Amino acid sequence: MGNPNGFMEYERKDAAAFPIRMRIDNYNEFHTPLSQREQKQQGERCMDCGVPFCQSGMMIGGMLSGCPLNNLIPEWNHLVSLGAWKQAYARLKMTNNFPEFTSRVCPALCEKACTCGANGDPVTVRANEYSVIETAYAEGYAAAQPPQVRTGKKIAVIGSGPSGLAAADQLNRRGHLVTVYERSDRVGGLLMYGIPNMKLEKHIVDRKINIMKQEGVTFVTSVNVGVDISAQELLSQYDRIILACGASHPRDIQAPGRDAEGIYFAVDFLRSTTKALLDCQMAEGSYLSAKDKNVIVIGGGDTGNDCVGTCVRHGAKSIMQLEMMPKLPDHRTENNPWPEWPRVCKTDYGQEEAAEVYGSDPRVYQTTVKEFLKDENGRLCGVVLVKLESRRDESTGRLSMQPVEGSEYTVDAELVLIAAGFLGSENYVTNAFGVEVDGRTNVAAKDHTHRTSVDHIYTAGDMHIGQSLVVRAIREGRDCAREVDEDLMGYTNLS
């Protein structure tokens, strides 16, 4: 620890966001990184505490606390404080394959568990990570490093999201021959089409994919495994297969009028915008547009917020975001102490932008859709909403949100976006490979491993554990790669 008083001498300072009216004119990332001098001071704020909860990645109070990748955070914070950027990069890459992604989109579980945050402001861990990886690219030491020896073993990874990419990266480092299959026209999975450009610009994804190509990973796009190519064909060509297709089955809203034109799943809406942005610079008619429409977003999570921010940029007439549950408190309560994940109300970028443009927070709590209304042409024209309240089921004793009789009201809406989460894997893939699934349609694995019920087939990421975070998906991919490597070689030196 270079400066044991750093956390007392320096206040937390994070990358500043562009003014809202400026940033909503485009789809670019909108933060100004700190200078290296300022970032070094932020590194000095790390206390190098005896029990670094920031890197623990453990379950506390039923919630994940600290980094699931067990990043060596105090170590590279210290190196940042010294300006030893190359050494910091080496420590960071020991545990994280893709800091260029996590430093942009991770909700920073590390910061929520930071000891400085117990009685003050946590260390800017995510911003420090951003500086480390971007300095590495600028200085040239994040360049491709192909393996010197090849094993001759061939592995197919189905899906190019963060878990599939992490598995591919690890196994390629080991010297195996890895081919990644992606059904979309571009590599990246949710990194490419599920996360908006203003959170993760797509040239950042392409930059890393190009390095992986230079290191020997083969990518095959626009091939839908289970449709365009059979499972049997892949099994005959590869020594092992990893299923990393994500939890891509969206949860629907079943209400009268659901067949109205103008109701879409959030993932389809976000994909449409990103694809139009990349293909034709948002040419009119090339994407699902919210322009001049009254929009209702169903779901209060990150994806719902991304829909809100995207609709603001489209030029929506109005935006309402529905949340079934009550509003969380603004600050930690006594039964939610540090270092638990803070169950507090978070106002994200999209909600901030909507509040600025439309005059109020778009979120409406304890509310859901009772009916979708259609005009004479079958197009969505309105939504009947109903308030909810918490009631206990007398037979089970469980609490659930139930409609309040007589609380219905109608609002205009020409566009509804369903951002209610995902139910699990798509069955055409699991059926094609004959793997067992659990009650939530996640691919079942044996004995707390990533082995499926079918020999030589493994699974990783959301397809295995259900919808989760990018950082957990990377952890899944790394763990799965280690098991595959050990299975193929009899031992492994992958971490």
Report the SS3 class of residue 249. strand
Strand boundaries in 160-203, DSSP class E: 177-181
Range of the domain at 208: 154-248+423-489
Compute the distance between CA of residue 63 and CA of residue 227 in angstroms, rounded to an integer: 38
Bridge partners for 46 per DSSP? none
Long-range contacts of 70-76 (CB under 8 A, 24+ apart): 70/95, 71/95, 71/96, 71/110, 71/129, 73/46, 73/110, 73/125, 74/1, 74/46, 74/47, 74/48, 74/49, 76/128, 76/129, 76/132
How far is the C-alpha of 118 from the C-alpha of 473, rounded, in Å?
28
Flag whether pLDDT at 72 surpasses 90.
yes
What is the pLDDT at residue 1? 64
Helix, strand, coil % over all residues of the chain, rounded to 5: 35, 20, 45
pLDDT tens digits for range 108-164: 999 999 999 998 999 999 999 999 999 999 999 999 999 999 999 999 999 999 999
pLDDT value for 315: 98
Residues 455 and 333 in one domain: no
User: Which tokens sit at 447?
Assistant: 């004995």
Alpha helices in 176-258 (DSSP H): 190-193, 202-214, 231-237
Of 139, 167, 193, which closes a domain? 139
What 3-state DSSP class applies to 495? coil
Give yes or no for a contact between 326 and 315, defined as CB atoms under 8 angstroms apart.
Answer: no
Shared domain for 291 and 237, answered yes or no, is no
196 lies in the same domain as 288 = no
Q: Is 145 a member of any domain? A: no
d(CA 395, CA 386): 25
The residue among 354, 366, 472 whose CA lies nearest residue 98 is 472
Return d(Cα 319, Cα 169) in angstroms, integer.
40
| Mean of pLDDT values over 369-375 | 98
Residue 1 lies in a domain: no
pLDDT band at 3 (very low <50, low <70, confident <90, very high): confident
Residues 62 and 110 in one domain: yes
d(CA 473, CA 168): 13
Q: What is the pLDDT of residue 491?
A: 97
Answer whether residue 495 is part of any domain: no
**H/E element holding 32?**
strand 31-32
Query: Are 336 and 436 found together in one domain?
Result: no
Q: How many structural domains does the chain have?
A: 3
The pLDDT of residue 417 = 98
Q: How far is CA 287 from the centre of its chain?
A: 22
Do residue 355 and residue 405 come from a single domain?
yes
Nearest Cα residue to 98 out of 2, 230, 188? 188
pLDDT tens-digit map of 244-253: 999 988 999 9
pLDDT tens per residue across span 278-300: 999 999 999 999 999 999 999 99
Give the chain's mean pLDDT.
Answer: 96
Are both 282 and 320 inside the same structural domain? yes
Provide the CATH number for the domain around residue 350.
Answer: 3.50.50.60
Of 380, 457, 467, residue with least CA distance to 415: 380
Residues 180, 326 within the same domain: no
Q: Is residue 210 part of a domain?
A: yes
pLDDT of residue 128: 97
Q: 56 and 35 share a domain?
A: yes
Q: Which of 362, 391, 420 is the last residue of a domain?
A: 420
Least confident of 98-107, 258-267, 289-298, 395-404: 395-404
User: Domain of 25: which CATH number?
Assistant: 1.10.1060.10
Task: Indicate the pLDDT class of residue 231, thresholds 50, 70 and 90.
Answer: very high
Q: Which long-range contacts (CB under 8 A, 24 or more apart) does 390-394 make?
A: 390/326
211 assigned to some structural domain: yes
Answer yes or no: do 197 and 290 share one domain. no
Q: Are residues 82 and 217 in the same domain?
A: no
Does the pLDDT value for residue 228 go beyond 70? Answer: yes
3-state secondary structure 403-472: ECCCCCEEEECCEEEECCCEEECCHHHHHHHCCCECCCCCECCCCCCCECCCCCEEECCHHHHCCCCHHH
| Domain end call among 373, 389, 420 | 420
How high is the pLDDT of residue 395?
82
Per the structure block, which two tokens stand in for 80?
A: 């940042």
Pairing, β 409-412 against β 415-418: unpaired
pLDDT at 474 over 90: yes
C-alpha span between 280 and 274 (Å, rounded)? 10
Residues 311 and 415 in one domain: yes
Between CA 302 and CA 262 the distance in angstroms is 22
pLDDT in tens, 391-449: 988 888 888 999 999 999 999 999 999 999 988 899 999 999 999 999 889 999 998 99
**Which pLDDT band, with edges at 50, 70 and 90, does 50 fall under?**
confident
